[in-house]
Amino acid sequence: IREPDEALSTDLVPGDVIVIPSNGTIMPCDAVLICGTCIVNESMLTGESVPITKTDLPNPQQDKKGGHGDAIYSTEEHKRHTLFCGTNVIQTRYYTGEMVKAVVVRTGFSTAKGQLIRSILYPKPTDFKLYQDAYLFLLCLVAVASVVFVYSLVMKILNQEPVKEIIVKSLDIITITVPPALPAAMTAGIVYAQRRLRKVGIFSISPQRINICGQLNLVCFDKTGTLTEDGLDMWGIQRVEDGRFHHSEEKADDKSLVTTKFVSCMATCHSLTKIEGQLSGDPLDLKMFEATGWILVEATEEETAHHDRIELTYVKPPNQLLPPSVISPEQDMELSELYELSASYMIGIVRQFSFSSALQRMSVVVRQIGERRMDAYLKGAPEVVASLCKKETVPEDFAEVLEDYTKQGFRVIALAHRRLESKLTFHKVQNINRDQIEKNMDFLGLIIMQNKLKTETPGVLEDLRHANIRTVMVTGDNMLTAISVARDCSMIQPQDRVIIADALPPKDGQTAKINWHYADKPSQCAIYWPDPVTVVLIQEQYHFAMSGKSFSVIIEHFQDLLQKLVLHGTVFARMAPDQKTQLVETLESVDYFVGMCGDGANDCGALKRAHAGISLSELEASVASPFTSTTPSITCVPNLIREGRAALITSFCVFKFMALYSIIQCLSVALLYSVSSPFIY
């Protein structure tokens, strides 16, 4: 293998092949992996310091059966194969002695980091009525100054004053009427507000938006990590066998469950990795894996270098969890025999399909040591997982059980399994499409996680409600869970009714339609649109709730209803990142001044688009939002609105003072000019 040449990062151009150092590096460009695997911290872009595994780009020609040509690389579509500029490569892994290589695809301001910096350098212009009116009023002052200028000019010519005096004194009128200190004076309130905000841990990269905060009348909140605690706690599991639910169980690390497919799915279907001996990854995955009590073992670089793409990661239960029928305390076993017994339960992770917020699921292909056929495990949103499973394996009361948990505010995750065909070899699996794996699954059951409200959340929302500031929840979580949390934190009052708008796209020649259901009675139809009863919806005690899928259908097929729905919409669940941005734009189109409060991960687009985006994350991605709070709680929202109102009133009062001062001085000087008074000299 030829040793790579060293070059400056500034000399890189798209198409260059670079070697990623084994000890990690900060990426100087966007590059796509073509050989090897990397573990990357993308907090600089996403706002979440969760290590992500990046795999090499699969060769589309190995999958191709028709003559359609090679697939075109897309940054968005091949995100899990792309190393983004500015992100930190923590570890690299390689096979058969090859180096970890990547092809440069973008450099400079074209990279993801470059676009982020560009949005900071050139933020969206502040479309604020006070500033528009200020420019309009300055034009009026210029018109007044022009009239007084002509009047003074005529009067001085009639008084036969020297030419020099006429020019100097007449032009002086314009500088008196149009105050040059007005912009500086109006900024004074903003400067002091910014200082006060800094003291309470709120920082801003766009100070002009502080004034806009004074006019906020609607605030959107993310749920997880914003209204609720970041971490999730395991509440219990509910397994399915023969198409029926078992009774709920508290623990998954029971000896009787160790060999079940359910526990195997919990132990393998995750994106965890070991960094310096510590398990790292998504907090939800971490809680789920810890609940099994299993052990994760990763092969070292030296081991993988001598093998042809063996499983890099495998999991196994500790010896004390192995069934009593297999290991008897009376048996006198050698350590080597005990290890072999434990090894027989080892499961190697062959292929990983990363979690996608758009697909709302992740899956893995695994192989148990000693078996030829491989298994596929799936984890994700219950509705999505159930739709990918065989109907006979999904319990008939699935919807009722799920609804019962979500109404109580639990976060529910579903698991599924599928035995893969024997013809699927290791190399075929490396290039197979995830759609071919994620189908005809067997439903395994539910994991129930508890997500508690932050202590300060109800009080802050109550303050906003008393101030007549509307609050909206925008989350990627389940609909009924979101409604439950909204009721718990008093975003929706106990006596208020919630109507779920379930929009269905056109299908089999039928036009798109919307079904309306009460959240507490999903089977009962609430109302059909249009209908005379819709007048009732104008009342404040009704709230609309809708999912991301319904929202996209409404945008496409019910544009005339969209604005009416967002006027009373309180809960928007299962929202993708781009849908959050679309919602903010829609709310702004109905003349709301919108604030967005999120954790800086999936909310980046909405944070930038809102009039006032408030990030609760101190990581690099938060810089994209105008405001960042060092305290990860929503108490920053009322503080920001208070300071915004104080700055706005100060700016308005300074504006009036400066304008009146200028007009009075202008008219006074014009009057003195008209009588040639000596007081003006």
Same domain, 433 and 464: no
Q: Residues 285, 344: one domain?
A: yes
In the set 30, 56, 222, 282, the catalytic residue is 222
CB burial class (10 A; 0-12, 13-18, 19+) of residue 306?
Answer: exposed
Q: Which of 83, 98, 121 is the last residue of a domain?
A: 121
Domain count, the chain: 4
pLDDT score of 509 more than 80 = no
Shortest CA distance to 548 belongs to which of 478, 449, 614? Answer: 478
Domain end (from 450, 483, 509): 450
pLDDT in tens, 590-618: 989 999 998 765 677 788 888 899 988 77
Does 403 share its domain with 522?
no
* Residue 242 designated active-site: no
Same domain, 360 and 390: yes
Given a contact cutoff of 8 angstroms between Cβ atoms, the answer to whether 286 and 400 are in contact is: no
pLDDT level of residue 638 (50, 70, 90 thresholds): very high
- 662 and 539 belong to one structural domain: no
3-class DSSP state of 144: helix
CA atoms of 534 and 541, how far apart (whole Å):
13
- Indicate if 175 and 312 belong to the same structural domain: no
User: Is 494 in the same domain as 404?
Assistant: no
pLDDT attached to residue 308: 45
**Is residue 270 situated within a structural domain?**
yes
Measure CA 478 to chain center.
Answer: 15
CA distance 524 to 531: 17
Q: pLDDT for 428-482, tens place per residue?
A: 777 778 888 888 888 888 988 887 888 899 999 999 999 999 999 998 877 877 8
Radius of gyration of the chain (CA): 32
Q: C-alpha angle 642/644/645, rounded to 5°?
A: 65
The residue to which tokens 């200020």 are assigned: 134
Q: Are 485 and 503 in contact (CB under 8 A)?
A: no
pLDDT above 50 (res 553): yes
Residue 506 and residue 598 in one domain: yes
* Residue 326 maps to a domain: no
Instruction: Render pLDDT for 650-668 as a digit per residue (tens, 0 to 9).
Output: 888 888 888 888 888 888 8
CATH number of the domain that residue 422 is part of:
3.40.1110.10
Same-domain pairing of 482 and 618? yes
- φ, ψ at 316 (rounded to 5°): -155, 150
Q: Is the peptide bond before 180 cis (omega within 30 degrees of 0)?
A: no
Q: What is the pLDDT of residues 171-186, one digit of tens each?
A: 777 778 878 777 788 7
Which phi and psi angles does 93 have, rounded to 5°? -130, 150
Instruction: Please give the Cα distance from 253 to 590 (Å, whole number).
Output: 52
211 shares its domain with 154: no
By CB atoms closer than 10 A (0-12, 13-18, 19+), residue 73 is middle
> 156 and 92 in one domain?
no
Residues 431, 562, single domain; the answer is no
In contact, 229 and 451? CB cutoff 8 Å: yes
Q: At what angle do helices 559-568 and 577-589 cross, to 10 degrees?
A: 90
If you search the block for the tokens 């004194």, which residue do you land on? 169
Rounded Cα distance, 533 and 547, in Å: 23
Q: Write down which residue in 450, 469, 484 finishes a domain.
A: 450
Q: Tell me the per-residue pLDDT of 12-46, one tens digit each, with 9 for 90 and over.
A: 888 888 888 877 788 889 999 888 888 888 776 76
HSE at residue 258, side-chain half, CA atoms within 13 A, is: 23
Contact 231, 246 (CB under 8 A): no
Name the residue range of residue 117's domain: 16-61+74-121
Residue with tokens 């997880």: 224
CB 308 within 8 A of CB 425: no
